[in-house]
Homo-oligomer: A and B are copies of this chain.
């Protein structure tokens, strides 16, 4: 019998926002893998740390912060060979993901490589748009609203088309795109409905005005409320 590959969402940052199902698996699974920078333990591992008992076999999926495609593929290929060897030996493996595994999650790359060879299950997690809306106390969507979730890297014309087709929006991973996005939202008359949330649910969470010129981390998003 081969083991099962588990994608485990660990939520947006506050360890208390992990689900009971996820923590039960963190307790039970013998092998845990997690994406990480070239050194250190990575955000998902840090979130889950209070629930990981000593003595697990752990696999770091080492990704550089500004990776080229070939490096990223090689990192996932290598990690998936290690994961597959445990699964072949009958050991279940959990892959930790910040937020939700299938919503912009690194688990998708593991899933693509291993889903045809092993049983797979996914534990959904609380995602950053919901965490940011909770921090800002702003509705994401209500009634018949349509919501667009847009990566900050999208070109202005594409973001504009999505904003115009929807009632509310989340622009993900704002970071260094803040000034360009603020100009675009202002031009579209949406600035008064927008707020920036950085590192939602973490102890250094910030809610800042769109016009604020402070540097933002990658873990920041703009909510355009309905």
Pair A146/B138 contact, Cβ less than 8 Å? no
A147 and B149 in contact, given A120-B137, A131-B124, A134-B101 (Cβ under 8 angstroms)? yes
Pair B162/A146 contact, Cβ less than 8 Å? yes
Pair A149/B146 contact, Cβ less than 8 Å? yes
A residues 82-137 touching B (CB-CB < 8 Å) = 100-105, 108, 111, 115, 120-127, 129-131, 133-134, 137
Q: Cα distance A121–B131 when bound, in Å?
A: 11
For A145, the chain B residues whose CB sits under 8 A away are: 104, 151
Pair B137/A166 contact, Cβ less than 8 Å? no
Pair B19/A16 contact, Cβ less than 8 Å? yes
Q: Is A56 close to B, CB under 8 A? A: no
Tell me how many residues of A have a C-beta within 8 Å of chain B.
Answer: 59
A123 and B127 in contact, given A108-B142, A140-B103 (Cβ under 8 angstroms)? no
Q: Is A180 close to B, CB under 8 A? A: no
Q: Cα distance A184–B25 when bound, in Å?
A: 40
Instruction: Kindly report which residue of chain B lies nearest to residue A101, judged by CB atoms.
Output: B134
Pair B144/A153 contact, Cβ less than 8 Å? yes
Q: Cα distance A86–B38 when bound, in Å?
A: 52
For A142, the chain B residues whose CB sits under 8 A away are: 104-105, 108
Pair A146/B150 contact, Cβ less than 8 Å? yes
Give A189 Cβ to nearest chain B Cβ, in Å: 19
For A18, the chain B residues whose CB sits under 8 A away are: 19-20
Pair B146/A148 contact, Cβ less than 8 Å? yes
Q: Is A11 close to B, CB under 8 A? A: yes
Q: Is A154 close to B, CB under 8 A? A: yes
